[in-house]
Homo-oligomer: A and B are copies of this chain.
């Protein structure tokens, strides 16, 4: 049973910034997972998206790829907490590490450290990935992702989401904004 968008508090996160619950849910919705998918989560950060993906591909596997060693430890801690046997934590830089890994059927890019185009091209041309979902918080990444994806002849879906939390404060309904996020996804066209 699907459990996308788990509460933020249940993840171990330390000081690494974490994708918020609703954005995580929409990212995974866009990924359109099947039970047996092999998912790459490139720039996995806290691993919260990897965890939720892993919980939803019981017959598949998730590879959380992350270059930062503190983040790698955090993902491992979350893996243990959520008992995700099908989650593999990979310490390495994308796309350099890619040739060593089991090829994916779905991929998320949450961080790309200046290699976004190379990462997308590798995924698109050298794997049989069906869907690619990019989470971006900068205009640079969004702009570049759209330019690159647009040249690939896939089907693109791109949104910007601004979300306000409404909190009760002394009986008043106050709106608290979250920073907006871009979710860009591309699907290979059936031939």
What are the residues of chain B within 8 A of A150 when measuring CB–CB?
168
Task: Judge if A69 is at the interface, Cβ distance under 8 Å.
Answer: no
Task: Judge if A175 is at the interface, Cβ distance under 8 Å.
Answer: yes
Task: Establish whether residues B173 and A165, one from each chain, have CB atoms under 8 Å apart when the complex forms.
Answer: no
What are the residues of chain B within 8 A of A137 when measuring CB–CB?
174-175
Q: From known contacts A26-B22, A175-B139, infer whether A163 and B161 are also in contact, taking CB-CB under 8 Å.
A: yes
Task: Establish whether residues B158 and A166, one from each chain, have CB atoms under 8 Å apart when the complex forms.
Answer: yes
Task: Establish whether residues B1 and A29, one from each chain, have CB atoms under 8 Å apart when the complex forms.
Answer: no
Task: Judge if A81 is at the interface, Cβ distance under 8 Å.
Answer: no
Chain B residue with minimal CB distance to A181? B175
What are the residues of chain B within 8 A of A139 when measuring CB–CB?
139, 142-143, 146, 166, 173, 175
Query: Apart from A160-B164, A160-B175, A162-B164, what 13 extra A-B contacts exist at CB < 8 Å?
Result: A1-B2, A2-B4, A25-B26, A138-B174, A139-B143, A139-B166, A142-B173, A160-B180, A162-B163, A162-B177, A174-B179, A177-B177, A177-B179
Task: Establish whether residues A160 and B166, one from each chain, have CB atoms under 8 Å apart when the complex forms.
Answer: yes
A residues 12-35 touching B (CB-CB < 8 Å): 22, 25-26, 29-30, 32-35
Give A182 Cβ to nearest chain B Cβ, in Å. 8
Give A108 Cβ to nearest chain B Cβ, in Å. 16
What are the residues of chain B within 8 A of A160 when measuring CB–CB?
163-164, 166, 175, 180
Task: Establish whether residues B163 and A159, one from each chain, have CB atoms under 8 Å apart when the complex forms.
Answer: yes
Please report whether the interface of chain A is mostly helix, strand, loop or mixed according to DSSP: mixed
Task: Establish whether residues B172 and A138, one from each chain, have CB atoms under 8 Å apart when the complex forms.
Answer: yes
Give A31 Cβ to nearest chain B Cβ, in Å. 11
Task: Establish whether residues A178 and B177, one from each chain, have CB atoms under 8 Å apart when the complex forms.
Answer: yes
Q: From known contacts A139-B146, A173-B140, A175-B179, infer whether A158 and B165 are also in contact, taking CB-CB under 8 Å.
A: yes
Query: Which of B2, B56, B167 sits near A33, CB closer than 8 Å?
Result: B2
Give A162 Cβ to nearest chain B Cβ, in Å. 4
